[in-house]
Amino acid sequence: MEPVIIGLVLGGMYALLAQSFVLTFVTTRTLNFAVGEFVAVGAFATLAVASWGWLPTVGKIAIGVLAAALLGALVYRFLVLPFTTQGEHDVRWLLSTVAVSFVLLNLMNNVEGPSPQRSETAKLDGAVDLLGVGVSKQQLLLAALALVISLGLIAVTQRTSIGLVMRAVSQDPDTTSLMGVSPRVVGMGSYAVAMGLAGLAGILYAANVGASPVMGEPLLVASIAVAIVGGLGSLWGPLVGGALYGVLSQVASYQWGAVWGETAGLLLVIAVLVWKPEGLLGRRAEVKL
């Protein structure tokens, strides 16, 4: 039972990051390979204001989230958008976000140093008992947030006018602009929200492992895997993928050791993709002639 519970909780954290992949993918057809660094940016920005006694904790977290969100919007506008202009085969954005990841990682390494720094801003002490398994409140918070935020995003896209616009942009950006909507603004908006989410995950995660430039890297592969397993086109995907990936990798590492945990998770990705290339909840792209 224990690995299952822990797995679900861990999966929640991956799901939060996976949600940021899905969000940028549905609106802009791009993924930000620098998400791992945005996790660290959020953590460091909050750390930088941690000593401001007058600012309540929520404010400090907000600053971290906003820093990541703002940087995300800028990265989209200047380093992603210009590399998406040559149609669906254009994957230059993929290379440019990888480059952004190199630059940010290197910069943070030089500025902050490679070793983790304690970050207590968003720390919840103690653990709760969940079906006989002790789970740290911190991790539970992350998982709960992932769930709440996912449901919130789903409600927004299905029920609101903004959501309608988002769905329209995801299907045909050019025609959306004929409807008086700027796809560029929608893209920047979704990058801001997505990277804000990554920053939030970073702030909460840093309370566990400390803030460091490479803190996001181990999360990156897992959360991309989760997003792909669930299906990049579906906001429900990360929840399903996160649960599956989290439980499987925990059970495997419980049984055979840590290396196998991750390996099992990645093999799951390959297995799912062989079976359903569009992910469990994804939509198959139709060939139109």
The residues that touch another protein, with contacts defined as CB under 8 A, are 25, 30-31, 79, 82-83, 88-89, 91-92, 94-96, 98-103, 105-107, 110-111, 161, 164-165, 167-168, 171-172, 174-183, 221, 224-225, 228, 232, 259, 262-263, 266, 269-270, 273-274, 277, 283, 287, 289
Residue type, 59: G
| CA count, 13 A, side-chain hemisphere, 113 | 4
- Minimum CB–partner distance for residue 162 and another protein (Å): 10
- Minimum CB–partner distance for residue 133 and another protein (Å): 27
The smaller minimum CB distance to another protein, of residues 36 and 199, is found at 36
Query: 128 pairs with which residues across the strands?
Result: 135
The smaller minimum CB distance to another protein, of residues 2 and 262, is found at 262
Burial of 148 (0-12, 13-18, 19+ CB in 10 A): exposed
The smaller minimum CB distance to another protein, of residues 49 and 214, is found at 214
Other beta carbons less than 10 A from residue 287's beta carbon: 5
The smaller minimum CB distance to another protein, of residues 61 and 230, is found at 230
- Residue 88 CA to residue 90 CA, distance in Å, equals 5
- Minimum CB–partner distance for residue 5 and another protein (Å): 25
The smaller minimum CB distance to another protein, of residues 131 and 289, is found at 289
Residue type, 262: E
> Residue 86 corresponds to which tokens in the numbers above?
């040559």
Q: Torsions phi, psi of 196, nearest 5?
A: -60, -40
- Minimum CB–partner distance for residue 4 and another protein (Å): 24
- Residue 5 CA to residue 96 CA, distance in Å, equals 38
- Minimum CB–partner distance for residue 77 and another protein (Å): 14
The smaller minimum CB distance to another protein, of residues 61 and 108, is found at 108
- Residue 139 CA to residue 131 CA, distance in Å, equals 16
H-type helices in 29-56, by residue range?
A: 35-48
Q: Which helix (H) or strand (E) holds 215?
A: none
- Minimum CB–partner distance for residue 115 and another protein (Å): 15
